[in-house]
């Protein structure tokens, strides 16, 4: 019996004694009962590679033709070996597909490793994450920065993000622009951040992700990539984003990469851009399929762009506090990215929770509940309940004149609220 090993792109079926290896990729089970795939043979000590060809494992005629071709072309092997090996190959592939994923037992006494991150706290390792925002909010520049933080890895990055211990290689899948767009951003970032030579593995894409995932996995295996950036969902999904079947096909394609691959999908925001509570454009099943979702909002000035990120959804962790990134456009053409306090920009402050807005407002001095109600344009009952929560956590104090204020000895720039905002 051959040795069988699952790979990123399919399976390797090995007959070591005969020095024959068959690589099977893009396995497809069809509704009419056919089981098809692409097959590549590697033969002999030098592992001579046969051209890749398609095969229908369910067809007796196709199997006979394959045995005859191998027997005629490679006389160094016994004819009986080719008959036996092809039968074994077809039988094993059919068995794998029929059995599907195994059933495993999950126990309350299981000891699981701590959740790891590709980049902390943004992207949990091996999980599908989505970053969405309006056009022009800075998603593409942010994407390039993330590939560098994980790829170098860039431990002392000025964004204060946790880089991985070992470098991770991204494959950048671009459905919107072309390589020159990404290259210009990469050159400007490397210049502004004084990074020296650095590169991104890039692929321009046309087919919907669900139709192209096997080809993408082949490229990933060739370059050794274990992370994917998809820019963006709107075109990668390949149709009407409001259709449930399109969203489920996209999420299934992400799952097809396997648990060892981290996927980061960039998406546009829903059409109601004025709402304080925004969502990913399209079917709600898009958001349901992602394990972590970050909303990105940006404001544009002449010489810089401010980006705020909000953790809208977390399946495996708490929701993290908002993050701020300031992208400065330098006179020499470079791009400088730095961490900044998102609460300092009024347009970005509106998106934050009431507790965060109260803390930011009190930086300017003590205010009464009525003054907070007027300045924040929030219902008085909400102001009272939010202030009481902050008071119980010793994050604000009540003065003798019934005004709320920040404690004199507090450090309010980065308060730990102790709960999901």
Determine the pLDDT at residue 88.
Answer: 94
Task: Mention every residue, 6+ apart, whose C-beta is less than 8 A from residue 104.
Answer: none
Q: What is the mean pLDDT of residues 214-220?
A: 90
pLDDT (0 to 100) of residue 287: 92
User: What per-residue confidence (pLDDT) applies to 412?
Assistant: 42
Identify the pLDDT of residue 393: 84
pLDDT at position 291, please? 95
Band (274; pLDDT cuts 50, 70, 90): low
pLDDT over threshold 60, residue 401: yes
- The residue-averaged pLDDT of 390-413 equals 79
Residue in this structure with the two tokens 């794998």, named with its chain if needed: 96
Percent of the chain with pLDDT over 70: 93
Q: Average of pLDDT values for 371-391?
A: 88
Q: What is the pLDDT of residues 307-324, one digit of tens each?
A: 989 899 999 888 898 899
Q: What is the pLDDT of residue 359?
A: 83
* Third-level CATH fold of 117-347: Rossmann fold (3.40.50)
pLDDT tens-place string over residues 99-142? 888 888 999 888 888 899 999 999 999 999 999 998 888 888 99
pLDDT confidence of 346, banded at 50, 70, 90?
low
The reported pLDDT for the residue numbered 89 is: 94
What's residue 218's pLDDT? 87
Structure confidence at residue 212 as a pLDDT band (50, 70, 90): very high
Residue reference for tokens 């942010």: 142
Mind listing the pLDDT tens digit for each residue in 166-209? Answer: 999 999 999 999 999 999 999 999 999 999 999 999 999 999 99
Range(s) of the chain covered by CATH 3.40.50.300: 117-347
Q: What is the rounded average pLDDT of the residues 44-51? A: 78
**Statement: residue 250 has pLDDT above 50:** yes
| pLDDT for 410 | 44
**Residue 11: which H helix or E strand, with range?**
strand 10-15
Cβ atoms 173, 203 nearer than 8 A: yes
Decide: 335 and 185 in contact? Cβ < 8 Å. Answer: yes
Q: Is the distance from CB of 109 to CB of 24 less than 8 angstroms?
A: no
Domain with CATH 1.10.10.10 in the chain: 353-405
Q: What does the pLDDT average to over 76-91?
A: 93
Rounded distance, CA 286 to CA 266, Å? 12
Round the CA-based radius of gyration of the chain to a whole number and report it. 27
- The pLDDT tens digits of the residues spanning 285-299 come to 999 999 999 999 888
Structure-block tokens of residue 82: 């080719």
pLDDT score recorded for residue 293:
96
Q: How many whole angstroms separate alpha carbon 34 and alpha carbon 58?
A: 6
| pLDDT tens digits, 13-40 | 999 999 999 999 888 888 888 999 989 9
Quote the pLDDT of residue 414. Answer: 43
Q: What topology is assigned to 353-405 in CATH?
A: Arc Repressor Mutant, subunit A (1.10.10)
Residues 234-252: what's their mean pLDDT?
Answer: 93
Query: Residues of the chain with pLDDT > 90: what percent?
Result: 58
Secondary structure string (H, E, C) spanning 56-92: ECCCHHHHHHHHHHHHHHCCCCCHHHHHHHHHHHHHH
């Amino acid at each position: 019996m051959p040795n069988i090993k699952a790979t990123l792109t399919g399976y390797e079926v090995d007959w070591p004694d005969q020095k024959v290896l068959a690589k099977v990729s893009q396995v497809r089970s069809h509704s009419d009962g056919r089981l098809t795939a692409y097959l590549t043979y590697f033969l002999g000590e030098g592992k001579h590679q046969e051209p890749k060809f398609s095969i229908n494992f369910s067809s007796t005629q196709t199997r006979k033709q394959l045995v005859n071709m191998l027997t005629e072309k490679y006389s160094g092997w016994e004819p009986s070996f080719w008959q036996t090996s092809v039968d074994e190959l077809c039988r094993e592939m059919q068995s794998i597909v029929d059995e599907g994923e195994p059933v495993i037992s999950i126990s309350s006494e299981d000891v699981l490793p701590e959740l790891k991150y590709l980049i902390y706290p943004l992207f949990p390792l091996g999980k599908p994450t989505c970053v969405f925002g309006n056009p022009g909010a800075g998603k593409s520049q942010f994407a390039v920065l993330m590939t560098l933080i994980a790829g170098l890895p860039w431990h002392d990055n000025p964004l204060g993000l946790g880089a991985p211990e070992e470098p991770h290689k991204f494959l950048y899948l671009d459905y919107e622009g072309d390589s020159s767009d990404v290259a210009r951003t990469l050159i400007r970032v490397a210049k502004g951040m004084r990074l020296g030579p650095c590169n991104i593995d890039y692929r321009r894409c046309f087919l919907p992700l669900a139709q192209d995932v096997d080809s993408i996995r082949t490229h990933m295996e060739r370059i050794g990539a274990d992370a994917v950036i998809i820019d963006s969902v709107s075109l990668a999904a390949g149709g009407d984003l409001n259709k449930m079947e399109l969203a489920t096909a996209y999420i299934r394609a992400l799952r097809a990469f396997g648990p060892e691959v981290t996927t980061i999908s960039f998406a546009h925001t829903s059409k109601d851009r004025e709402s304080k509570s925004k969502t990913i454009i399209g079917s709600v099943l898009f958001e349901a399929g992602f394990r972590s979702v970050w909303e990105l909002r940006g404001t544009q000035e002449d010489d810089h762009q401010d980006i705020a990120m909000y953790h809208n959804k977390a399946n495996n962790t708490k929701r993290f506090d908002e993050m701020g990134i300031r992208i400065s456009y330098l006179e020499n053409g470079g791009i400088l990215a730095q961490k900044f306090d998102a609460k300092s920009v009024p347009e970005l402050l509106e998106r934050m929770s009431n507790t965060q807005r109260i803390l930011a407002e009190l930086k300017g001095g003590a205010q009464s509940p009525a003054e907070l109600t007027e300045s924040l344009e929030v219902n008085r009952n909400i102001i009272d309940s939010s202030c009481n929560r902050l008071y119980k956590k010793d994050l604000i104090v009540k003065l003798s004149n019934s005004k709320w204020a920040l404690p004199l000895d507090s450090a309010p720039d980065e308060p730990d609220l102790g709960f999901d905002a």
